[in-house]
Amino acid sequence: MFPTEPAAVNNGFGALLKNRAFMFLWLGQLVSQLADKVFFLMLVDLVVDKNSSYFPPAGVAKESMYPILMVAFTIPAILFGSAGGVFVDRLPKKLIMIGSDILRGLLVIGLAFLPRDFHILLLITFGVSTVTQFFAPAEQAAIPLLVKREGLIAANALFTSTMMGALIVGFLLGDPLLSLAETRIAKNYGPELVVALLYLLSAVVMLPIHFREKKLSSEILGDRIDLWADFKEGLRYLKKNRLVLNAMLQTTVLYCVFAALMVLALPLAEKFGLQGKQSGRFIAAVGIGMVIGAGVLGHWGEKTHHKPLPLIGFLGMALILAVVSFTNSQVLALGFCILLGVSGSLIGVPMQTLIQQQTPPIMHGKVFGFQNHAVNIALSAPLAITGWLNQEFGLRIVLIGMSLVVAVVGIWAWKNTRNVLQDVI
């Protein structure tokens, strides 16, 4: 499914392990991802715990604090998802990533010394989420600078595995880690200190990286930053490059499905008589499947050229979503969730690699910023409507409906992409 020929050398994980700069980038991403997950759990603990020192403002119920906090966490992703990419094209990627980690670390540690006021917590949450919108596109744009074109599929496979692994490990170990910080360090600032140190550690890990990026002239970029003009330029580029646009649409649909599954995990757990907090095992199973699929692609990716991987992935996800709605075995459901993750990796890894391969360096920031924006919206929309759909129509109908949508999108995307790929090859 890629417009490149397999290289004669080993371009799998073995080659990446010898790439010192890339390994520092990967380790930085790993630590940063863990910090994100632990920070999220810390926010939940700060407002949901019955012994919380944060009290609701006048006119706000305590049970409304968490939804309000999540809105503050989500809004920057929608507002600034594309804006971050504009700066990525104009500033050194290393400066943006390390600076973002340091800023997030300072914001989190500030919580420990500022008054325990809910409005301050909202502002800090908003700030951390805003800074994250600059880190994400810079990270994606950095990968092609450190890895040769033929090694991108393995690099993206490793990054996808790390992202899902951090999701699993972060949510499994986050709570014990925060509890340990409260008891061993300090109840009032222990958790904040741990999260801040994780962000700062990510910055330190990436310090040795040397990027060979060309400094673009002001004639190419313009003398001043115009967010709206740069946004329109990125949009025009995507309209002209159907290959990149189609790949981006497919990754967006993939994240829509995963976001919907995060909501449906709760009724799925109830179907098997599990408690609400045990619903995470289904999400973890999908993550394990993504890690397995990404690992296979990363190791044997050179053998998958010109194969319809995304089509196989979409049809596999469609079939699994339909079958899960009829299974009455928890073990089988978990197995299907693993296969769902494997199918998802057949879409996410090759499509992200394709975007990196086909986007010129001058457009990296704009394109990855736009993609970050689209993914953030894709993650938000299903969270808002999937619960309501489940209440109105039931779990089985919703899963079958998702199955049909995924199958249609997969077939449509393949038909639209196949001819373009043949032209590129």
Q: What is the pLDDT of residue 340?
A: 93
Q: What is the pLDDT of residue 277?
A: 54
Q: What is the pLDDT of residue 295?
A: 77
Contact 344, 258 (CB under 8 A): yes
Is a pLDDT exceeding 80 seen at residue 164? Answer: no
d(CA 129, CA 108) in angstroms, rounded, equals 11
d(CA 257, CA 260) in angstroms, rounded, equals 5
Using the Cα atoms of residue 365, residue 368, residue 370 and residue 373 in order, give the sign of their dihedral: negative
Which tens digits make up the pLDDT trace of 39-79? 887 887 787 766 667 787 887 777 778 778 877 887 887 77
| pLDDT, average across residues 399-422 | 80
Q: What is the pLDDT of residue 248?
A: 84
Q: What is the pLDDT of residue 290?
A: 82
* SS3 at position 384: helix
Give the pLDDT band of residue 313 (cuts 50, 70, 90): very high
Is a pLDDT exceeding 60 seen at residue 5? Answer: no
Percent share of the chain, pLDDT over 70? 83
Q: What is the pLDDT of residue 1?
A: 40
- In angstroms, how far is CA 177 from the centroid of its own chain? 22
Q: What is the pLDDT of residue 306?
A: 60
Per the prediction, the chain carries an average pLDDT of 80
Is a pLDDT exceeding 90 seen at residue 144? Answer: no
Q: What is the pLDDT of residue 412?
A: 86
Give the pLDDT band of residue 383 (cuts 50, 70, 90): low
Place of tokens 């309501």: 388
Most confident of 165-169, 220-224, 262-266: 262-266
| pLDDT, average across residues 7-29 | 76
Which tens digits make up the pLDDT trace of 195-244? 999 999 999 999 999 877 665 544 444 555 566 676 677 778 888 887 88
Contact 122, 407 (CB under 8 A): no
174 sits in which H/E element: helix 152-184
Q: What is the pLDDT of residue 300?
A: 67
Ranking 3-7, 36-40, 77-81, 111-115 by mean pLDDT, the lowest is 3-7
Alpha helical stretches, state H, 304-329: 309-324
Q: What is the pLDDT of residue 6?
A: 37
Q: What is the pLDDT of residue 319?
A: 95
Q: What is the pLDDT of residue 418?
A: 65
Most confident of 18-22, 96-100, 230-234, 362-366: 96-100
| pLDDT, average across residues 300-328 | 82
Ranking 17-31, 117-131, 376-390, 397-411 by mean pLDDT, the lowest is 376-390
Residues 6+ apart with CB under 8 A from 245: 238, 239
Is a pLDDT exceeding 50 seen at residue 24? Answer: yes
Place of tokens 């990627």: 93
Q: What is the pLDDT of residue 399?
A: 92
Comparing CA positions, the residue from 358, 378, 359, 357 lying closest to residue 367 is 359
Q: What is the pLDDT of residue 12?
A: 63
How far CA 270 is from CA of 274, 278, 320, 331, in Å, comes to: 5, 9, 19, 14
